[in-house]
Structure 1
Amino acid sequence: MNLRYALLSDIHGNLAALDAVLDDLADWPDATLLDLGDTLYGPLDPRGTWQRLLVESETRRVLGINGNQDRDVLERRPSATLGFVVDELGDAGLRWLQKRPASILVDNLVYVCHGKPGDDTRYWLEDLDDGLRALADINADAADIAAEILVCGHSHIPRVLTLPDGRMIVNPGSVGLPAFRDSDPPHAMQTGAPLARYARIEATDRGWLIAHRAIPYDHEQAVEQALDRDRLDWAQWLSSGWA
């Protein structure tokens, strides 16, 4: 079995960023693509993103889960962008989202969730006051998971963290949104660069090799899409990586 996995999270309907990442993955055609959720929500190109992932699944294994904002779309939670996303996806796109689970165990090796296990609205690794959560708390959330490597998204911040038993938790960062500001509780997550982020992981004789990738792309295209939807906040985040 080939044990190569490309971790893509928080695409947020940014087709230009997704295309750049998939182009970068052309030299890894046998890798499984794991989509960690928050895939289509955003004022950019949700339908194009969904269709591009369908095309990619014709030539490689693509497995995906839903994040909190995928649920927002399915549950019709009011937002400035919800109506646009629902209209763009139509019934077929919404059915595609509905089929995806909240977490998966891949090849009995890789555990995949969006936020932290059992809660897609919480950060597994980050503490808003101290930077990282206490290791004991992070480890407690991993206690009942039988997997060699654990992956999550949601915070948009690339990280690798080693647990006391040697397992690692990997957050690949965000493909499509390099920064954001949230109101509950008030905080910002920012990478400081308008780049598309993802990670490659591979099981080898030396252990798991992890490579974070930061890919330049035509982010001004995404900025223009955000401006067309009157999302000045998204335009700022996309243009700079700062929030």
Structure 2
Amino acid sequence: MIDDAELFAADLIGRRLLKVTTAWHHHADDRPSLVHLWLHLEGLGPVLFHTPSTGLSLRADQPHGPYSMAEHGSVSVIDDSPDVPVTWFVGQMIRSVRQIDYNDGHVGFTAGLTLQFPGGSVRLLGLVDGLLIAHDQHLGAVEAHLHEDVALARVVQTSGGCPSQWDAWTTMGQYLYLRYRHGEGTVEQHPSEDVDTWDGEESRLWTSWDDGTNGGRIELTDFLATAGLRLDPEAEVHTTPSIGPRV
């Protein structure tokens, strides 16, 4: 991987987390703040997560050594700090990367990403010039303005087994193609269920995992739980295959 190459969320899916490096800005008597995060991923190398203003930027980049910031304190670089929640998942594969949006009715932007591992998930957020790693915690007032498009409003089963697959639409109107075959589950985003629309920039991988069973059948509830998706309380679900499996 070439340093400074721009990376996308889908590039991280299926990569094993090997190591975590963090850079902390020390300000006088204040608590250190996180300025940079590197995830070392199998087959990809170190990936830098940082926030240029709000939201996250991802690029291939080697960790820097400790350095000074003139008149603004210093920055220390630490490998695999146990106090950083993402280090708890070292050795695990990234199963899913989901976008987190912020909207308070006045300002809206992509605030960060949720990385899902077999052992749990962690949120990486860029809010007001700061990088935040959150795991199983409520972020106070800002939480009401954060949203992940993971609730399904409509699901139509298109194959009952070998593969098990569904067409699904989120409550925000995004079409998703859900598929499970040979023990491998995937969630793909596309503009619509029309396969002729699947080759453009709006198509990307959301989720991928292999449960090692080589199975071809899975119940919808189990698929959604593994994929990090859920049914909206008023979701419309059609469980009888109506189209037949796509190749």
- Which of the five TM-score ranges fits, normalised by the shorter chain? under 0.3
TM-score (norm 1): 0.27
TM-score (norm 2): 0.27
Instruction: Tell me which of the two structures has the higher relative contact order, counting C-alpha pairs closer than 8 angstroms and 6 or more residues apart.
Output: 1
Task: Say which structure is richer in strand.
Answer: 2
